[in-house]
Amino acid sequence: MSALSTAGFAGNPLLEKYRTPHGTIPFDNIKNEHYLPAFEEAMKQHLNEISAICNNKQTPDFENTIVALEKSGRLLATVSSPFYNLLNAETSDELQDIAQQISPLLTEHSNSIQLNEELFARVKTIYEQRDKLKLSAEQQTLLENAYQGFVRNGVNLSEKDKESYRELSKKLSLATLQFGQNSLKETNRYELHITDKKLLSGLPDNIVEILADNAKKAGKKGWIIDLKTTTYVPVMKYADNRDLRRELYLANSTKCMTGGEFDNLENIKTIVNTRLEIAGLLGYKNYADYVLIRRMAENKENVYDLLDKLRVAYHPAAKKEYDELQTFAYENGAYFVLQAWDWAYYSEKYRTKKFDLNDEILRPYFELENVKKGVFGLAEKLYGLHFNINKNIPVYHPEVSAYEVTDAKGKFVAVLYTDFHPREGKRSGAWMNDFKEQWMDGKKDSRPHITIVMNFTRPAKDKPALLTYDELTTFLHEFGHALHGMLSKVTYASLSGTSVYRDFVELPSQLLENWAPRKEFLDGFAKHYQTGESIPEELIQKILDAENFNAGYFCLRQLSFGYLDMAWHTIEKPFDGDVVACENQAMEITNVIPVVDKTAMSPTFGHIFSGGYAAGYYSYKWSEVLDADAFSVFDKNGIFDKKTADSFRKNILERGGTEAPSVLYKRFRGQDATIDALLKRNGIVK
């Protein structure tokens, strides 16, 4: 909460001191009409704090300028946090309208600070003396980030170019916001009403029940298929009716690109061209050059070097996988060339035959409540953490749970919110975020409030929520991010938790996925929801045997997204061409399945057009190299080895963005990572 008074704003819970457990957000008191006035007051107070720094008559120093700047705007962060989290997890038309109003105001507010020459002059004075100041590594990073923040946001531009920057940044913020809203609305409005149950042949009973429930909620008889992940994925994987799979695939792959109010084709052009203009103003040839200079990769040449090396290594495996699947399909009566809507269906059948394993065999052992115990139990084994629900902590939806997290000595560590199932107001996918970061106020450690949001299979009429194996790994992934946030132990909020380079942030999340197939881990929680029987050892072995099934294909799929992202953000001239043609060209070198005409992923590629991964999607593969290399240490020493876990916690999880990622990683590993461990893990090299 800002040090400035909020007197006169009684009745607006966002502007009052939170009298809740651990100062958590009072969701039960916040109404939509509170947001706009709270944003306006918070921005006003933030500017007053900035004025106080600028008007300080004392000689600029680290404490009165850099630390003061770091601490400014806490009230604005307090107001922004619930709003933007709910905009993704529990949105409404009213919240989206407020976002449209507030987005340009926030952009202008940020610009008014980042383009403040008087403030920058103080920062620059300290930055130029940095070698004489005897700063700690964390202080050096805070100073570097502060200085670069001004430079990279245009403070050195001419007055004319500053005005251009202001307009471009407002234009970009609105376009990216609209992109995400269009994608959610287009997903939500699609429904395929089925009245003939024969069309649902092959679908597991629990999925059929979910589709029936969809219809019931819509006041219709029969079944309704939508494009939410928990519906779309199982239909593509199990539906025997090829025409149904094709129809659903085309619906999903033409979202936001067929005209109408939710079309994103023009939005894409606006976004990439505006980013190009901003990069040009700041002296870069393209947006990727601007972004990557502050990443582990450093430049686009290193990104392409990684993508190309992995493509060369994995492409033969992917081609072999496709050929094997085509042969299998032909032998089972599929006398046609496999298309995109066939891949998941025949892959699942082939995997079942080859390994006697599929999602429905595993589901009974992954009941959500047991999985939670297993994942939380892993954090206890590695880091001594304990998780207890506190029903006195307000939540934003009845399905959300709030946990108090404590360490082995009972000391409070963090608050963790969990939100597992899809809703109309929730965007697709899975993510971790924070409601409050960790920081130090003097000697007081102000602990973080973290949230993980998923879209997992809902309970059926007579069954609890039973997860797929992929959903288990997704849970581990997001929980890895959560550990990064919860275990933060830094001084400054802007350096805490996941506030690290984008190509480093996926290391803790992807690392945790490595525990998913391990017997020692599964034995602790994977029990049949009806019989209580532990998952059989032979089933665990089948999971391990199947771990690299289609590894080549899945690697190339991720690489294709990386190539596409780089294609959009390495343009050096404004783009006004065909979005689909541009996408096809970018992804061509990774294709193993025939391309479907007039389909594209760009119009709903939220990671790069409305998220934070522009010129950064390669990060998933970059971090995968790191996680395979890091897990090799656990593999060698024991997957619950406390010494290894303590080292990872101390050198990476606790340190956030306080030092360069390469320094932190070497401190843990003793050397740089290579792709060798990843190639070995995926069976590409023996």
Among candidate residues 69, 13, 73, the one with its CA nearest the CA of residue 38: 13
Task: State both tokens at 609.
Answer: 């057009």
The question of whether 144 is a catalytic residue gets the answer no
Which string of DSSP letters, residue by residue, matches 608-622? HHTSS-TTTTTHHHH
Structure tokens belonging to residue 110? 């940020």
Q: Which residues pair with 449 in a beta bridge?
A: 415, 436
Euclidean distance between CA atoms 253 and 354, whole angstroms: 30
Interatomic CA distance for residues 477 and 457, integer angstroms: 17
How far is Cα of residue 7 from the mean position of the Cα atoms in its chain?
A: 37
Q: How far apart are CA 611 and CA 605, in angstroms?
A: 9
- The closest alpha carbon to 208, from 194, 218, 219, 220, belongs to 194
Q: Exposed, middle or buried, 140 (CB in 10 Å: 0-12/13-18/19+)?
A: middle
Q: Catalytic: which of 348, 478, 506, 583?
A: 478
Pair 625, 607: CB distance under 8 Å: no
Q: Crossing angle of helices 35-54/74-89, nearest 10°?
A: 150
Closest alpha carbon to 139 in 452, 491, 404, 422: 491
| Alpha-carbon separation of residue 186 from 264, 265, 341, 430, 554 (angstroms) | 10, 13, 20, 18, 26
Q: Give the count of alpha carbons within 13 A of 442, CB side only.
A: 1
Annotated catalytic residues are 478
